[in-house]
């Protein structure tokens, strides 16, 4: 999204907002775990595809912060067609939500953030599918930033 986005819309993060995100993450980390409200990380290798992306809208003093949790342990959080579709849909919905101030993207898988594109899935794609797939990944990331 453009840095000159409308008030309340997601825009490029300023240094102040980056510090706010870091502070919220630090505060949410210990406080949320202590309250038992932090998302639980799954250790099972069998994750339903609809559970690959978890969207949480924080409440109270953290209202306006949305946490997108990537939960694709069996693929090391690599971006599959399904995860990309879910991420794109979530970002599109959040772009139009005037109440959203900040998006935090985090892993729900211990020790892993994201491995990039799902190369096993990509190897099975027809050559005509690869370009649009990579373009879609870039477009979704640009929408977030």
Question: Residue 128: pLDDT above 90?
Answer: yes
Which of 32, 82, 90 has its CA nearest to residue 59? 32
Task: Confirm whether 79 is domain-assigned.
Answer: yes
Mean pLDDT confidence for 14-25: 45
Task: Confirm whether 140 is domain-assigned.
Answer: yes
Distance, in Å, from the CA atom of 49 to the CA atom of 51, rounded to the nearest integer, reads: 5
C-alpha gyration radius of the chain:
16
Mean pLDDT confidence for 6-25: 43
Question: Residue 69: pLDDT above 70?
Answer: yes
- Residue 120 CB-half CA count within 13 A: 6
Residue 103 parent element (H or E): strand 102-107
Domain residue limits at 102: 15-144
- 18 DSSP β-pair partners: none
Q: Output the domain CATH number for residue 102.
A: 3.90.226.10
72, 80 contact by CB (below 8 A): yes
Task: Confirm whether 91 is domain-assigned.
Answer: yes
Mean pLDDT confidence for 94-119: 92
Task: Confirm whether 2 is domain-assigned.
Answer: no
* Residue keyed to tokens 């932090």: 38
Distance, in Å, from the CA atom of 61 to the CA atom of 50, rounded to the nearest integer, reads: 29
Give residue 145's pLDDT band: very low, low, confident or very high (50, 70, 90): confident
Which of 1, 102, 86, 96 has its CA nearest to residue 50? 86
Task: Confirm whether 6 is domain-assigned.
Answer: no
CB neighbours of residue 66 within 10 Å: 22
Distance, in Å, from the CA atom of 58 to the CA atom of 131, rounded to the nearest integer, reads: 36
Task: Confirm whether 8 is domain-assigned.
Answer: no
Task: Confirm whether 105 is domain-assigned.
Answer: yes
pLDDT at residue 49 in the model:
62
* 75 CB burial (10 A radius; 0-12, 13-18, 19+): buried
- Tally of domains within the chain: 1
């Amino acid at each position: 999204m453009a840095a000159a986005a409308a008030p309340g819309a997601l825009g490029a993060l300023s240094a102040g907002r980056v510090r706010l995100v870091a502070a919220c993450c630090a505060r949410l980390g210990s406080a949320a775990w202590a309250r038992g409200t932090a998302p639980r990380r799954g250790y099972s290798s069998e994750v339903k595809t609809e559970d690959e992306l978890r969207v949480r809208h924080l409440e109270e003093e953290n209202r306006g912060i949305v946490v997108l949790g990537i939960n694709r342990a069996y693929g090391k959080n690599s971006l599959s067609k399904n995860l990309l579709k879910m991420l794109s849909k979530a970002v599109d919905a959040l772009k139009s939500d005037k109440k959203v101030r900040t998006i935090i993207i985090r892993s729900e898988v211990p020790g892993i953030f994201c491995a990039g594109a799902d190369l096993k899935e990509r190897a099975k794609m027809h050559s005509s599918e690869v370009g649009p797939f990579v373009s879609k990944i870039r477009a979704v990331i640009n929408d977030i930033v």
